[in-house]
Amino acid sequence: MKDAPTRALEDTRFLRALRRELTDVTPVWLMRQAGRYLPEYRATRARAGDFMRLCKTPEYACEVTLQPLARFPLDAAILFSDILTIPDAMGLGLTIDEGVGPRFKHPLHEPSELRRLGIPDPETELRYVTDAVRLIKRELGGRVPLIGFAGSPWTLATYMIEGGSDREFIRAKRWLYGAPEAMETLLELLVEATTQYLNAQIAAGVDAVMLFDTWGGVLTTDAYQRFSLAPMQRILNGLKAGTPTILFTKGGGQWLERIAATGCSGIGLDWSVDLAQAKRRVGELAALQGNLDPAILRAPIAVIEQEVDRIMDAFGDGSGHVFNLGHGITPDIDPEHVAAMVARVHNYRRPKDLRR
């Protein structure tokens, strides 16, 4: 009986879709599905006192991970955490404040500062994450798969060098073009740290992992291959064999063939990508995840349903589609609009009632 939940999870819509197997309906989950658009999340965050305590307390992280599943019939849960946990554990001192965003107290000003970085042990400095995974898995009871995640090395490096969120990446690109060897040293540290971190999440019980490459799209094609995709490839190569994986590069639609060639199970698509074209380009190499513009959730429900149908029509027949947003849901969205979107995905029927 010990393996029964695992076998049952393998047959869930989300994991079947990542294997490009037929599903009864298209699975759906949302990036940032546990977040500020939910009043129950805001109440839990108020009890926690601040975002970092919310992240670093397994009981709170479990609570907010499960909240959207209590409201909506989603096909996967995603661990509530933050992509910047690794740099924080490296000693950069992460703070996240409302209206300001993530900031580091001790960013990397010069390449010479790389010597102060170590690789955090995921079962000591990051134990709060693996403890949260174990607690969430217990509370889920095999209902749906749990997705673990991490930021891509390039994305983490930009925050570590800039000291926070930045749209110009002046300092990070100064390293990239002026000190590429130092940048590669930093990225290799992050590859090793992220590989260990994700393997620890897998050992703790997550059923799939996702790499969020939020800022890969700001690079040239050559720089993307060298400084973003190649490090992600090395992480994939180091993960426990058989683990389903999703790579998401925001603004990376021009590189879908390269991303698919990594051997990832699925490719996350932002809303700028035409899903039908992506399917033709990727073929049987990977499943596709996406890609409703989150802003559409502000529209009337009839418009949301129309846009869901448009994306589903674009994918067409066959297997290998996980419905999602093209980026994270924003705090201003009405939960009733999310409910309508999820219902439309699950109730969608193609012409002649073709089933997936």
Hey, which residues are catalytic here? 32, 36, 45, 82, 159
3-state secondary structure (DSSP) of residue 77: strand
Question: What are the angstrom distances between the C-alpha of 53 and each of 37, 44, 47, 60, 113?
Answer: 19, 11, 10, 8, 28
Which helix (H) or strand (E) element contains residue 313? helix 301-315
**Burial of 173 (C-beta count, 10 Å sphere; 0-12/13-18/19+):** middle
For residue 131, give every residue at least 6 positions away whose Cβ sits within 8 Å of its Cβ, in sequence order, or none: 58, 204
Structure tokens belonging to residue 39:
């009043």
Adjacent-strand bridge partners of 209: 148, 245
For residue 310, give every residue at least 6 positions away whose Cβ sits within 8 Å of its Cβ, in sequence order, or none: none
Which helix (H) or strand (E) element contains residue 180? helix 180-204
Tokens 């990508």 sit on residue: 273
Distance CA 166, CA 168 (A): 6
Question: What are the angstrom distances between the C-alpha of 157 and each of 106, 109, 166, 182?
Answer: 13, 12, 12, 11
Is residue 55 within 8 Å of 85, Cβ to Cβ? yes
216 φ, ψ (degrees, to nearest 5)? -65, -30
Distance CA 198, CA 211 (A): 10
Tokens 């000291």 sit on residue: 163
Is residue 291 within 8 Å of 273, Cβ to Cβ? yes
C-alpha neighbours within 13 Å on the C-beta side of residue 114: 15
Q: How many CB atoms lie within 10 A of CB 271?
A: 18
